Amino acid sequence: MAKNPFDTLGKGFNLGKKTGLDAFTATASSGKEEQQKRNEESAKMPVSVAFPPHLYVPYGAESVDMRRLANVTPGTNVELIRFTAPQGRKVKFIGYGVFCDALMFALVNFVPTVNGRRVFPYHGDPQRNFKIALGISSDLGNNALISCQLDLEPGQTLIWTFYNNDVVDVAAGVRMSGYVDSSIVRATGRFGG
């Protein structure tokens, strides 16, 4: 007759533990050869782990973290950040943050452009043509960064402009976070005769 594994008490199954304290004692689960092999593997140098480059700055890459805060007078616009990617290297931005102390969302606007064209076309308020005016925190700290994937080719210029249509001064700020990609930049080679 087969023994039922769910009926362990008093049916011939040996649980192997005699007291409650026995459960806290360790026994070797493998032979000496296996233990020696594990010890040798543990003594090796650690292996580096590469996190996804669209979420984190890669190991060895030069990080970029720009931020600027300005007091913007009523009825004016201010260029908060102007950055041109260095020749021969791409700059990859993986996060940005915006901050302003305006009371009325409708009276302010952040406009990010690369070479004169609006970027992040689907960031912001969808009911107002994706207008960017609200940050996700009261400051520009790491918890305030909005994920993005913006690659600047060598020589391209990123500009953040803030528009203040309010009747009072507004403090406005922008932060861009990413890294310089020093890997080989593709160039179109010669082909044909």
CATH of span 62-181: 2.60.120
Per-residue pLDDT tens digits of the chain, which is 193 residues long: 566 666 655 555 555 556 666 655 656 566 788 888 877 877 776 777 777 777 788 888 899 999 999 999 999 999 999 999 999 999 999 999 999 998 888 899 999 999 999 999 999 999 999 999 887 666 666 677 899 999 999 999 999 999 999 999 999 999 999 999 876 555 555 555 4
C-alpha 120/C-alpha 131 separation (Å) is 10
Shortest CA distance to 161 belongs to which of 82, 66, 75? Answer: 82
Q: How many CB atoms lie within 10 A of CB 100?
A: 22
Position 179, amino acid: Y
What does pTM read for this prediction?
Answer: 0.68
Task: Please list the residues that pair with 60 across neighbouring strands.
Answer: none
